[in-house]
Amino acid sequence: MPKPAAASVPMVTLSDIQSALVRVRKSIHVSPCTRSETFSELTGHSIYLKLENRQRTGAYKERGALNKLLSLTADERSQGVIAASAGNHAQAVAYHASNLGIRARIVMPLATPLIKVSATRGYGGDVVLHGANYDEAYEEAMRLSAQDHLTFVHAFDDDAVIAGQGTLGLELLEQHPDLEAVVVPIGGGGLIGGIGCALKETNPRIQVIGVQPARLPSVKVALSEGKSVTLPAAVTIADGIAVRRVGTRTLPLVQKYVDDIVTVEEEEIANGVLLLLEREKILAEGAGAAALAALVNHRIPMMQASSGKKVIALVSGGNIDVTLLARIIERGLVKDGRLVRLRVHLPDYPGALHKLTGILAERRANIVETSYDRAYHNVNLGDTAIDITMETRGPDHIAELISALSAHGYTHERIL
């Protein structure tokens, strides 16, 4: 990726990250980084998974939050801190502030899932629900920060936070000094900026690749434009990296240290969550599965030019609402070809459905849901349309079912 000239502003340094590691080491879990035989076979590279979902609050955010809190003056500690977040950052700030005896106020959007609000309160945070989205919650947090003299702890655009996230890079080097590439999910750029600095300043040959959801590629667009750009709001299952604008402190780091940024589609992220859960017994949120999704879907051009690289994929977090998890699993099954919905037109007379299901049963498709419709979908009078959702073995099995239906004269279509 061509690199625009980085802005001439002081940036986080390797020394800052090394100092951060000294501060946080005794309070941050050294998360496992183990080889995955399954994903190594799927990608042609030696894939290791860095499991930051094993941190106390379920995500890497603790590193940056704790380093920021430990960097406060005595006066700032006594006044307290404030943050705006709908998830992982909120819990990280609340947890470590409570442990340090610092009062923490967390502004969360009104639509934040109850489980995240409860978790943040459980970690000791004083939760304020405000605004329809993160931007409105952020504005309220900034207002309260000025009004009540509270130190604002930014989720990513703060040097102490960036340096704290960068400790992950130093940890990777300790665990696997011979690593050749690392794949990192990107939201506002704090995580990849810190990791990139730690790795590249130690070994410039290590490749650093970022992954964003295709619906919100804010950092990729900023690199293309050479400046921060605010993207329109969009919904993604990778809500932990759904950031509309890269940080002013993080963009120069990305420009200097990141080799490439790729995007992944929603179905690919969902499939990544499913693969981690099913193959590795690892629970990841959407953002946490983005790096793996990029690898298994061959989204990284430089990874296709060669094989056998030692690559670390960062599983950045595992805080996922169980209702969303159910929907993600279903979408993942669809992407993987193990769940399919077909709409079949058939005559509306006794025994017609029995004949149809017999054809499907012969080919070992498991019907999980059906829905009749006689009035819509261009159904002829005297006919009906039936939507059939089935569990299948994969794309080849689906093709076999479709071929069998055609051979028996059924009009059909696949519902996506």
Q: Which of 46, 71, 218, 316 is catalytic?
A: 316
- Residues 129, 223, single domain; the answer is no
Assess whether 66 and 194 both reside in one domain. Answer: no
Does residue 167 share a domain with residue 132? no
Structure tokens at 300: 């990284």
Tell me, yes or no, whether 178 and 53 share the same domain: yes
Measuring CA to CA, how many Å separate 9 from each of 225, 240, 295, 306, 317?
19, 28, 33, 36, 31
The end-to-end CA distance of the chain, in Å, is: 34
CATH number, domain of 395, equals: 3.30.70.260
Residues 170 and 263 occupy one common structural domain: yes
Instruction: Respond yes or no: is residue 316 known to be catalytic.
Output: yes
Average pLDDT, integer, range 392-408: 95
* CA 225 – CA 157 distance, rounded (Å): 19
Burial class (CB in 10 A: 0-12, 13-18, 19+), 180: middle
| Residue that finishes a domain, picked among 313, 332, 351 | 332
DSSP-based three-state secondary structure for 343? strand
Residues 327, 350: one domain? no
Q: Is 83 a member of any domain?
A: yes
* Mean pLDDT for the stretch of residues 68-77: 98
311 and 401: one domain?
A: no
Instruction: Residue 361: give the domain boundaries.
Output: 337-415
Would you say residue 3 lies in a domain?
A: no
Residue 108: CATH number of its domain = 3.40.50.1100
Rounded CA separation 244/217 (Å): 8
3-state helix/strand/coil string of 131-194? CCCHHHHHHHHHHHHHHHCCEECCCCCCHHHHHHHHHHHHHHHHHCCCCCEEEEECCCCHHHHH
Domain end residue (candidates: 316, 332, 348): 332
Residue 5 scores a pLDDT above 70? no
Residue 65 in any domain: the answer is yes
* Domain assignment present for 41: yes
Q: Let me know whether 270 and 326 are in one domain.
A: yes
The answer to whether position 121 is within a domain reads yes
Q: Which of 118, 152, 186 is the last residue of a domain?
A: 152
Give domain status of residue 9, yes or no.
Answer: no
Whether 122 and 177 map to the same domain: the answer is: no
Say yes or no: 323 and 247 in one domain: yes
Strand pairing of 207-213 and 339-347? unpaired
Per-residue pLDDT of 278-301, as tens digits, reads: 999 999 999 999 999 999 999 999
Is residue 21 situated within a structural domain? yes
216 and 278 inside one domain: yes
Separation CA 310–CA 213 (nearest Å): 24
In the prediction, which pLDDT does 372 show?
82
Let me know whether 169 and 97 are in one domain. Answer: no
Q: Residue 76: enclosing H or E segment and its boundaries?
A: helix 74-79
For the stretch 229-250, pLDDT in tens is 999 989 999 989 999 999 999 9
Taking the C-alpha atoms of residue 196 and residue 173, their distance in angstroms, rounded to an integer, is 12
Which H or E run contains 296? helix 290-296
Tens-digit pLDDT profile for residues 316-339:
999 998 888 888 888 888 888 999
* 189 closest CA partner among 278, 116, 252, 274: 252
Round to whole Å and give the CA distance between 249 and 225: 17
Instruction: Encode pLDDT of 179-200 as tens digits.
Output: 999 999 999 999 999 999 999 9
Query: pTM for this one?
Result: 0.88
Would you state the torsion angle of the CA atoms of residues 195, 251, 68, 202, taken in this order, to the nearest 10 degrees? 30
Task: Report d(CA 389, CA 386) in Å as an integer.
Answer: 10
Helix ranges (H only) for 319-386 are 322-335, 352-362
pLDDT of 124-173, one tens digit each? Answer: 999 999 998 888 999 999 999 999 999 999 999 999 999 999 999 999 99
Q: Output the six-digit token pair for 158.
A: 């703060």
Q: Report if residue 1 sits inside a domain.
A: no
Domain count, the chain: 3
Q: What is the pLDDT of residue 377?
A: 62
Per annotation, catalytic residue among 61, 68, 200, 220 = 61
Residue 270, pLDDT > 80, answer yes
